[in-house]
């Protein structure tokens, strides 16, 4: 069994905001795999069960709000007795440019409060994470309003391609392991706008 966790904030006001990139990817995976969401109130998560290449996969969106994500993830992982390397956490990353993907087997939080909460609640930083770049506006350090805002219309085509590529990376992680998924997918996703300019 594998667990894929997408981080975000619940509620209609946060739908498709930059900070909800993890939620957006899991919704795309559930659609690809024809998985049906349901509320699991015992763990404060939305979950959807599926299978990929014969492997059982649980998709989970914590409903605790971003900064308390670990309060849902920790009990969920313990309930299913999952070793941490079988758990992939998907997050937005303002330090990565929009259009970039970076999967790692562990590491620091980069100041991401959702990752910090999970590390506290599982007692380790050694779990795979997939960072989806959202960039920063003009290099600003204060980014609260930016990450809680929605993607601009000029960004949507690239965001769509990033999510499709990230789905492929998650599936590669499930099938071939993290080293292959990192080597094949980490880096910049081609921007459709650049391709149109070249034609």
Burial class (CB in 10 A: 0-12, 13-18, 19+), 119: buried
Active site residue 19: yes
Query: Which whole-number Å values give the CA distances from 31 to 11, 36, 192, in the listed order?
Result: 20, 8, 23
Q: Are 49 and 35 contacting, i.e. CB atoms less than 8 angstroms apart?
A: yes
Report d(CA 33, CA 159) in Å as an integer: 20
Q: Are 125 and 107 contacting, i.e. CB atoms less than 8 angstroms apart?
A: yes
Query: Which whole-number Å values give the CA distances from 52 to 56, 138, 175, in the listed order?
Result: 7, 40, 8
Of the residues 19, 100, 112, 113, only one is catalytic, namely 19
**What positions carry a catalytic annotation?**
19
């Amino acid at each position: 069994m594998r667990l894929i966790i997408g981080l975000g904030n619940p509620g209609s006001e946060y739908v498709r905001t930059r900070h909800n990139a993890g939620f957006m990817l899991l919704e795309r995976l559930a659609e690809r795999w024809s998985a049906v969401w349901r509320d699991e109130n015992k763990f404060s998560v939305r979950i959807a069960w599926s299978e990929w290449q014969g492997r059982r996969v649980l998709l989970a969106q914590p409903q605790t709000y971003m900064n308390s994500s670990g309060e849902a993830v920790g009990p969920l992982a313990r309930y299913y007795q999952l070793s941490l390397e079988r758990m992939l956490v998907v997050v937005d990353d303002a330090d990565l440019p929009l259009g970039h993907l970076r999967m790692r087997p562990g590491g620091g939080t980069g100041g991401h409060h959702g990752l910090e909460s999970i590390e506290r609640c599982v007692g380790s930083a050694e779990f795979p994470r997939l960072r989806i770049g959202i960039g920063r506006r003009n290099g600003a350090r204060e980014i609260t309003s930016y990450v809680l805002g929605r993607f601009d219309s000029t960004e949507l085509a690239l965001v769509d391609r990033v999510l499709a590529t990230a789905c492929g990376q998650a599936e590669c992680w499930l099938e071939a392991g993290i080293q292959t998924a990192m080597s094949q997918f980490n880096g910049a996703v081609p921007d459709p706008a650049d391709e149109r300019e070249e034609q």
